[in-house]
């Protein structure tokens, strides 16, 4: 306001200089807002990439600790399935498109924080399940019982019969809440629910075959998820 008032009493040169200063100040303010927005977007995407990297690296690490005989590059789960890779690419596309069209959607800090908490909860639950199961845990459903197979019912297996799947379920949805991806939140929820439901049904048949009445009693006491 002081600058505008001064310009009204000054020369044309003063007016031009003041106008330039006003435009520059507005541009600087706009740049600061843009920079703040970009920083928020980078903050969200960096948290997502860190969560994704930690998940796959820790999958390999825990298998290396628990069951080194089954360890391979596939233990990273980077090539889990075509559907898994398609889901990941879809989330990246949605994030990019929505960031360009409606960038404010990617700056909802409280929602992204909820997503991060879901990711942390899911990651911790899954890794706790893997470590508790020890050498009994394998990324591939086993069709034959080995001499070392035992029914694990302690720790997080006292909460859920399949805590590793429950953890992965919340982790996968959390990654999309973290990115503020409304379409993929819905898609991931439906796809994950269907996948784990079918996977649990398949695995339960094997577990009943392995442990018989012992597993049926455990099934009565502890929910699957």
| Domain limits for position 80 | 48-221
Predicted pLDDT at 140: 85
Residue by residue, pLDDT tens for the chain (225 residues) are 434 343 433 444 444 444 433 343 444 444 444 454 445 556 567 889 999 999 999 999 999 999 898 899 999 999 888 999 999 999 999 999 999 999 999 889 999 999 999 999 999 999 999 999 999 998 888 888 888 889 999 999 999 999 999 999 999 999 999 999 999 999 999 999 999 999 999 999 999 999 999 999 999 999 988
Q: Is residue 82 part of a domain?
A: yes
Q: Is residue 59 part of a domain?
A: yes
> How many domains does the structure of the chain reveal?
1
Q: Is residue 37 part of a domain?
A: no
Q: Is residue 3 part of a domain?
A: no
CATH number of the domain that residue 210 is part of: 1.20.120.1630
Closest CA to 76 of 90, 99, 48, 57: 57
Predicted pLDDT at 48: 93
Q: Are 172 and 192 in contact (CB under 8 A)?
A: yes
Q: How far apart are CA 143 and CA 138, in angstroms?
A: 12
Q: Is residue 112 part of a domain?
A: yes
Q: Is residue 146 part of a domain?
A: yes
Complete DSSP assignment for 110-137: HHHHHHHHHHHHHHHHHHHHHHHHGGG-
Q: Is residue 20 part of a domain?
A: no
Q: Is residue 28 part of a domain?
A: no
Neighbours of 58 (CB within 10 A): 15
Closest CA to 136 of 149, 145, 120: 149
């Amino acid at each position: 306001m002081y600058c505008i008032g001064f310009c009204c009493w000054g020369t044309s040169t003063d007016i031009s200089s003041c106008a330039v200063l006003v435009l520059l100040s507005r541009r600087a303010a706009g740049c600061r807002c843009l920079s703040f927005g970009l920083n928020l977007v980078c903050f969200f995407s960096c948290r997502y990439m860190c969560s994704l990297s930690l998940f796959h690296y820790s999958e390999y690490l825990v298998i290396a600790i628990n069951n080194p005989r089954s360890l391979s590059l596939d233990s990273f789960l980077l090539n889990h399935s075509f559907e898994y890779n398609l889901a990941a690419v879809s989330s990246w596309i949605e994030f990019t498109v929505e960031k360009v069209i409606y960038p404010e959607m990617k700056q909802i800090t409280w929602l992204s924080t909820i997503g991060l908490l879901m990711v942390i909860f899911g990651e911790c639950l899954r890794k706790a399940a893997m470590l508790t199961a020890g050498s009994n845990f394998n990324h591939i459903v086993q069709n034959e019982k080995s001499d070392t197979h035992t029914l694990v019912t302690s720790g997080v297996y006292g909460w859920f019969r399949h805590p590793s799947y429950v953890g992965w379920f919340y982790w996968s949805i959390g990654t999309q809440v973290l990115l503020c991806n409304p379409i993929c939140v819905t898609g991931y929820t439906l796809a994950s629910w269907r996948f784990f439901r079918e996977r649990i049904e398949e695995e339960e048949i094997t577990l009943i075959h392995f442990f018989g009445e012992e597993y049926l009693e455990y099934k009565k006491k502890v929910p699957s998820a």
